[in-house]
Structure 1
Amino acid sequence: MKNIYLIGVGLIGGSFAIDIKKHFSDTIMYGISRKETTLDEALSLNLIDKKATIADLQNADLVIISIPVDATVKLLPTILDNIADHTLVIDAGSTKEAICKVVENHPKRRNFLACHPIAGTENSGPSAAIPNLYVGKTNIICEVEKTTFKLQEKALQLFTAIGMRIRYMDPVAHDKHIAYVSHLSHISSFMLGKTVLEKEKNERDIFDMAGSGFASTVRLAKSSPAMWTPIFKQNKENVIETLEEYIHNLQHFKELMQQENFDEIYNEMENTNYIKQILNGIK
């Protein structure tokens, strides 16, 4: 896969570029973006070698889409319209059902592999790209059977080379599970940040009194609204379901506080400590 086209050259696309170049030195990396300034920055950081457009995709061996999920839904059919028969197209969207559905009847559906690498930071843009972002991280692949086997093999070789683990999942199940383990945590972080900003008007107080616990919990509130709003929109039903359960647990905790039932609060926290055993396996 010599000619690789990145549609989106921020944290996700740029980090792919860094690691792919490290393992495949003969690769030529092309960048496609709505903003010329983004491509200029990606060039200056050596994330890409050349600028390109959608019309150039006929020359691609691999296309990596890492743009907001609403933009992916709109653009993916056009991308498939412009590729050659040998081209592999993958995406990195945090939702999968709408993306898979929009191309379910496309003549080149077999060229597309729906992916979700569980990796990232709260930062965005080309300067946020870092090496080894995907080492040891899980890449969820949906509807693998709809991608031609030869292109599946190419994708797996690439993912293995940059250190990713693979898991296969139905897109509907993916969106439901990811609402709990990713989307809810981002909402919680955004709303914690909002609550503190509303109550602590003095910025110096926030800076001086915020400990590492607050900083780690609110870290995700620094994530891009341009990326996360479309995710919440596409996964609306699942996100609302998770919020209802989360709000129920918060309300229950509040009631225990009002009742001064600190023995039960202790029990609830102790039972929840079990999550340490699960997360200890995540590096």
Structure 2
Amino acid sequence: MTKNKATLLGFVAVILWSFLALFTVGTAPMPPLLLNAVCFAIGGGLGLFWTAQSGGFSKLRSVPLWVFGFGTVGLFGYHALYFSALRLAPAAEAGLIAYLWPLLIVLFSGFLPSENLKRAHILGAIVAFTGAALIVLGGGEGFNADASAGYALAFCCALFWSGYSVISRHLGDVPTAAVSIFCIATAALSFGLHLTLETTAWPQGALGWGSVLALGLGPVGLAFYVWDVGVKKGDIQLLGTGSYAAPLLSTLILVAAGVARANWTLVLAAILITAGALIAARASVSSRDQAK
């Protein structure tokens, strides 16, 4: 698989994650750990079916146990923290903090031996982050000290996913089929903790259950498999910066669904996010050309 194709697959995950907020709203009043368990059971089942059809189970025998542990902690940690943060803090402000992960991916990737972090990557990340900030803070009321626990969880969420994505670069020989095991293990861990820490509450009506199914198949399912390919074989710096399209697309989806109203903030944010992605893309292309 070429680097460009892998990068495009990685961006499929960004599109799927753009539906995360909308579908999560529809799953109320499910508690975070139970939502984690059900969604990852669906996503893991999807992966196991694909692995069985492609004959990938034989490749999993050579995967070290610590890799399964690493993947499980990464997926469980990010989503448990994300869902909890949105329960404990205003969604806009918590979302802004959580969306530090693309910027952190770009910056952390500079420490990888095969990558070269340029000033343009940093500039592009900052410009795109400004656009993301406009989206999540547009119309917001500022930070609320009473929600500090939620903000802290959102920051840990950003650290978890950026760290998981960058470290995954070192696991290029681990087959993507391993992600299905990560998902199943995450579902089991989440369900066990749910029984200990939470009160069971199920989604309401067909819309609620449909939202859970959509989460499991898309943002908490297929997205992880294509993202795994992207960060291992694609342009991780371009993926990191381009991931700022997620809050923009998420907002547009909410507008289309009637949950939010369109305003000038969307226009300016779109310009900044696109400009940031183009700056980083140009830097990546320039780096590849110089390496030839």
TM-score bin, normalised by smaller chain: under 0.3
Structure richer in strand, relative to its length:
1
Larger radius of gyration: 1
TM-score of the superposed pair, with normalisation by structure 1:
0.26
Structure richer in helix, relative to its length:
2
TM-score of the superposed pair, with normalisation by structure 2:
0.25
Higher relative contact order (CA 8 A, sep 6+): 2
